[in-house]
Amino acid sequence: MEVSLDSQHNSQLDTIRRTLLASIGALLYSLVILVCYKLGYVLIDVTDLVIIYICFWVGHLAAVGFVYFRHIRNMSARSMSLLHMVWAIIFVSIILYYTVEIRSALMMAYLTIISFGAFRLQWRGFFGITLFTLASYAVTLFFFQQNNSGRWSPELEVIIGITFLAAMLGFCILGREFSLLRERLTSSNRGLRIALAKIEALAITDELTGLYNRRHLLVCLDKQRAIANREGSRFVLAYIDIDEFKRINDEFGHRVGDEVLQQFSDLLQESIREIDLVSRYGGEEFVLLLTGVGIETAAIVVERIRDAVESLKFSENNLAMTISVGLTEYQAPETINDTLERADKLLYQAKQEGRNRVVQA
């Protein structure tokens, strides 16, 4: 879960960073257009230029605001890369219509815009935005030829068009390679996360029963002890041992013994609350951690478990089975070892008194 949240946070930061970079790029290109206009390379009425600028920046800032709004609300900040790119391509195409002499230089903005999608878009989206760019330039060229035939040079436009087409195809191929690489990395990261989750699960669970192991139990007990010392809360430990389990292994084999352990583990897991914890402490020994209750309530729960075990038949061999339990409540400020040792002694007492019973401090 923590890994997932970190990944989502990093993805949001990446989206914000790309959005800011796109805004910086748009600002620089807008300044270049103004310089070209002052030098006489962009032939447009100043009113029309202002209207084009206002329309572009209103749309651009609206997209930026949408990303930022979702980010501050802790929502998934959806990337606006595709919308930014389409909007910027339309803006560049309109400017190119009014540009003379240096149109081929300003066309480099197309390649800059498309490069922003290389690390974000899937290859189909990248291919689509490439076709959209080519179509936008073709429409711009058509209207330019229709309305500015005096400044139209077919030979030059053919050379520019072929060069531009080759560059776009190269970017399209590069975008597909980036997309495939990103998919492989995503798949590898997913596999690593799954493997890490399995390793973490194996580190804290018992392989046979699926219960928490002794190591994880001790970690949880230390945390519970700290809470109890700080807040004065209560918790109880039940040290459980299956009576004469060695006889089951000797007479019926370890496979049957494993079936008994698994069935008994399921019974324990079903008998406690979600806030409680059950652990296989070792062999046929189990420990219950019952939180927020005193020993009187815990005794009722454990006695119910003992009754259930006595009334059930285990494994395919329908084996009768009983358990002995040592039950004790944590007494601050003792150590967890002190509590466990007291529960162990109570369990031993239950064994000495004839088994199939709960002995409490």
Q: Which residues are catalytic?
A: 284
Ramachandran region, residue 109 (left: φ > 0; alpha: ψ -120 to 50; beta: rest): alpha
Residues recorded for the chain = 361
Q: Partners of 236 in the beta sheet?
A: 290, 329
Inter-residue contact 271 to 308 (CB < 8 Å): yes
Distances (CA, A) of 151 to 125, 145, 343: 35, 8, 97
CA distance 255 to 249: 8
Token pair 């806030």: residue = 275
The 8-class DSSP code of residue 329 comes to: E
DSSP reduced 3-state for 292: coil
State the amino acid at position 16 in one-letter form. I
State the amino acid at position 361 in one-letter form. A
CA distance 52 to 23: 16
- For the residues of 113-181, what is the DSSP string, one character each? HHHTTTTTS-HHHHHHHHHHHHHHHHHHHHHHHHH-GGG--HHHHHHHHHHHHHHHHHHHHHHHHHHHH
- For the residues of 185-241, what is the DSSP string, one character each? HHHHHHHHHHHHHHHHHHHHB-TTT-SB-HHHHHHHHHHHHHHHHHH---EEEEEEE
